[in-house]
Amino acid sequence: MNNLSKRNSFFDDFFTKDLMGSDRRPFAENSLTIPSVNVKEEENRFEIQVAAPGIKKQDFKINLDRNVLSISSENKSENEEVDKDGNFTKREFNYSSFSRSFTLPELVETDKIEATYEDGILKVSVPKKEIYSPTLKTIEIK
């Protein structure tokens, strides 16, 4: 067997186990999570629904730049366990973020966009402009 193809268990353990011996992978193969989004069109508005459970309302940012609506969130946390001597025994950092952007059509009222967050669902209501459609009028020729 070729020595280069042989795996060294020390290095395998280093990258697949944490310092406390857990089998949890410290470097996830796919740590990117993007929330699911539904876009619903109704007669007088669009509704964008973002499934984002566990995110606090104040962690969302909703921006409008010209006709691009961006919804994002960023969360940083730190968890540490200290032994009785005051030394760190375990310290974990967690960072998660996402960003979704939507190009809005010209027929929306950008000044009247509203958002609510309830039960893990962010709902962004984007009203449509009232389209003026005059009734047909026949003009008599004199």
pLDDT in tens, 6-31: 444 444 444 444 444 444 444 444 44
Residue 50's DSSP bridge partners are 37, 122
Mean pLDDT score, 74-93: 76
Q: What is the pTM for the complete model shown?
A: 0.62
8's tokens: 């060294």
pLDDT of res. 133: 64
Comparing 32 with 91, which gets the higher pLDDT?
A: 91
Taking only Cα atoms into account, the Rg of the chain, rounded to an integer number of angstroms, comes to 26
Distance CA(140)–CA(27), nearest Å, equals: 78
What ranges in 1-142 are assigned the alpha helix state H? 9-16
* 71 vs 64: CA distance, rounded Å: 9
Contact present, 78 and 93 (Cβ < 8 Å) = yes
For strand 121-127 and strand 60-65, is the pairing parallel, antiparallel, or unpaired? unpaired
CA–CA separation, 18 vs 81, rounded Å? 15
Compute how many other C-beta atoms are within 10 angstroms of the C-beta atom of residue 66: 8
Domains, the chain, ordered by start: 35-127 (2.60.40.790)
Average pLDDT of the residues in 29-34? 57
Q: What is the mean pLDDT of residues 26-49?
A: 79
70 vs 26, higher pLDDT? 70
Predicted confidence at residue 84, as pLDDT, reads: 73
Higher-pLDDT residue of 134, 82: 82
Dihedral pair phi/psi, residue 74, rounded to 5°: -140, 135
Top pLDDT among 38 and 31 is at 38
CA separation (Å) from 98 to 63, 71, 85, 104?
14, 8, 39, 19
